[in-house]
Amino acid sequence: MPLTAEELKAHFLLDPEVTFLNHGSYGACPKPVFEQWQRWQADMERQPIDFIARRLQGLLDQARVDLGAYVGAPADDLTFVTNTSAGINIIAKSIELQPGDEILGTNLEYGALDWTWQHHTAKHGASYIRQPITLPVTTPEALVDELWQGVTPRTKAIFVSHITSATALKLPVELICQRAKAEGILTIVDGAHAPGQIPVDITAIGADIYAGNCHKWLCAPKGAAFLYVHPDLQKWVESTIISWGWYPGSTFISRNQMQGTHDASPWLTVPTAIAWQAEHEWNAVRSRCHDLLREYVVALHDQFGTESIYSNDSWYTQLAAITLPAGDYTNLKERLLARGIEIPVTEHLDRTFVRISVQGYVTQKDLVHLSDVLRDELQ
Ligand SMILES: Cc1ncc(COP(=O)(O)O)c(C=O)c1O
């Protein structure tokens, strides 16, 4: 039997005065993982030269083996990066674009990465197209067909989230990658919210490029993320900083991991985060969280009298966006925080949502507290 949510709460460093329903933004680290992170830092400070110059690359190779097994990718095709933004920026900067080329995303992508693509496509006279996706979503196939309305002979790559940010939708990346492959289009998946929340098997997905965070749902320390690139594509992938990793015969990994002096301890802690979740029966914890959220999504939409953007519960796992009634929600997030609840209020076109994260430590009581406070605040 996995630990209860109350028991798991005691494993986290979170402020007990706050009802924390925003694991999605930056994650949160359990104490044993946090302590291992500190041990790596202490190890580094005891003999910095030995740690960084002699031992670090070997330690990182070992950590990538564990990460590769966890996300279904060969360790040699993964490099650690600081966050998903860094991973996608490396690709956006490296991809060879000609005037008129198009990068196709949806209108559900993460705003900061929309800026990344806008910046790099504009520099080359190319375009970043945000294909509108109709909400509520119906079937994965319908979503893929809708996305394909944006495909043209100039589509150089498709860029999609595995789980979207403001709307918390699990997109059918397997279907998207399959169809793109058949049509010779490159696929780039933004997996910021996926590792730790849903099983990730990059090989089975068939993505050419996949960037994911370990610091969100896998509960690793902040600054732990990875970039997977199919071996056939690694030769054109640059790195943010050109440093000692660019030696003759260097690899995609050395070029991206050797970025001058930096703290690699969050990367080294990833195997501990993977082991901690396995030890705590995380598949069972996740499915308990999903069951709790599934009932709550229905109950809260009933309470608000609003339509869900999800046609069924297969569109989300531990993160869901609940549609608020039409209205002005300026300051709602701050008002909820003033009442002890940390939760984001997100927007998409004319819809506003409260985006709920149900991580293993979230209790039924936390959710009831949110409903009560929202009932009050929305009156
Ligand atoms: C879909 C999506 N992509 C990318 C990111 C960026 O993650 P990071 O700040 O770790 O780079 C986020 C952050 O919440 C996100 O929701």
Residues 208-246 have pLDDT tens digits of 999 999 999 999 999 999 999 999 999 999 999 999 999
User: What's the pLDDT score for residue 28?
Assistant: 98
* Two tokens, residue 307: 């339509």
Residue listed under structure tokens 């490099």: 79
Does the C-beta of 197 come closer than 6 Å to ligand 1?
no
Cα 367 from Cα 358, distance rounded (Å): 9
> How is residue 51 written in tokens?
């740690």
- Ligand 1, from 81, 85, 167, 316: best to mutate by most atoms within 8 Å of Cβ? 85
pLDDT digits (tens, 9 = 90+) for 51-88: 999 999 999 999 999 999 999 999 999 999 999 999 99
Distance 211 CA to ligand 1 centre (A): 10
pLDDT at 379 over 90: no
Q: How far apart are CA 340 and CA 19, in angstroms?
A: 6
Give the pLDDT confidence score for residue 57 in this predicted structure: 97
Instruction: Indicate if ligand 1 lies below 6 Å from the C-beta of 317.
Output: no
Cβ(192) – ligand 1 distance below 6 Å: yes
Query: Percent of the chain scored above 70 by pLDDT?
Result: 100
317: nearest Cα among 303, 343, 297? 297
Nearest Cα neighbor of 189 from 203, 353, 197 is 203
Virtual torsion, Cα 131, 329, 197, 202, nearest 10 deg: 20
Ligand 1 nearest-atom number relative to CA 24: 14
Calculate how far, in angstroms, residue 379's C-alpha sits from the geometric centre of ligand 1. 33
Among protein residues, the one with the nearest Cα to ligand 1's atom 4 is: 192
Q: What atom in ligand 1 is closest to the CA of residue 109? A: 1
Mean pLDDT of 108-122: 98
Distance 22 CA to ligand 1 centre (A): 13
Query: For a pLDDT cut of 90, what percent of the chain falls above it?
Result: 99
pLDDT tens per residue across span 129-184: 999 999 999 999 999 999 999 999 999 999 999 999 999 999 999 999 999 999 99
* Ligand 1 center from residue 192 Cα (angstroms): 5
Residue owning tokens 């506003």: 352
Contacts of 327 (CB under 8 A, 6+ apart): 352, 378
Query: For helices 270-279 and 31-46, what crossing angle results, to 10°?
Result: 150
Query: pLDDT value at position 74?
Result: 98
Query: What's the rounded mean pLDDT across residues 11-32?
Result: 98
Query: What is the rounded distance in angstroms from the CA atom of residue 117 to the CA atom of residue 87?
Result: 13
Q: How many residues does the chain have?
A: 379
The residues, any chain, with a CB within 8 Å of residue 379's CB and separated by 6 or more, are none
Structure tokens at 218: 């896998």
Please give the number of the atom of ligand 1 that sits closest to the Cα of 85: 11
- Strands 127-131 and 102-106 turn out to be parallel
Measure 227 CA to ligand 1 centroid, in angstroms: 13
d(CA 69, CA 355): 31
> Which residue among 159, 193, 198, 347 is best mutated to probe the pocket of ligand 1, counting the most ligand atoms within 8 A of its Cβ?
193
The 10 Å Cβ neighbour count of residue 211 is 27
Which 3-state string (H, E, C) describes the chain? Answer: CCCCHHHHHCCECCCCCCEECCHHHHCCCEHHHHHHHHHHHHHHHHCHHHHHHHHHHHHHHHHHHHHHHHHCCCHHHEEEECCHHHHHHHHHHHCCCCCCCEEEEECCCCHHHHHHHHHHHHHCCCEEEEECCCCCCCCHHHHHHHHHCCCCCCEEEEEEECECCCCCCECCHHHHHHHHHHCCCEEEEEECCCECCECCCHHHHCCCEEEEECCCCCCCCCCCEEEEECHHHHHHCCCCCCCCCCCCCCCHHHHHHCCCCCCCHHHHCHHHHHHHHHHCCHHHHHHHHHHHHHHHHHHHHHHHCCCCCCCCHHHCCCEEEEECCCCCCCCHHHHHHHCCEECCEEEECCEEEEEEECCCCCCHHHHHHHHHHHHHHCC
Q: Does ligand 1 lie within 6 Å of residue 193's CB atom?
A: yes
Find where tokens 């598949």 sit: 283
Mean pLDDT for 334-359 is: 98
CA–CA separation, 266 vs 102, rounded Å? 35
Q: Is 85 in the pocket of ligand 1 (CB under 6 A)?
A: yes
Q: What is the distance in A from the centroid of ligand 1 to the CA of 51?
A: 30
Q: pLDDT per residue over 297-334, tens digit each? A: 999 999 999 999 999 999 999 999 999 999 999 999 99
Could you tell me the distance, in angstroms and rounded to a whole number, from the CA of residue 157 to the centre of ligand 1?
20
Mutate which of 110, 200, 218 for ligand 1? The one with the most ligand atoms within 8 Å of its CB, which is 110
User: Which tokens sit at 292?
Assistant: 């709790």
Confidence band, pLDDT 50/70/90 cuts, at residue 201: very high
Q: Is 308 in the pocket of ligand 1 (CB under 6 A)?
A: no
Q: What is the reported pLDDT for 37? A: 98
The domains located in the chain, with CATH, are 5-21+281-377 (3.90.1150.10), 35-276 (3.40.640.10)
Which residues on neighbouring strands pair with residue 78, listed in sequence order?
Answer: 228
Q: How far apart are CA 165 and CA 338, in angstroms?
A: 24
What pLDDT, on a 0 to 100 scale, did the predictor assign at position 330? 94
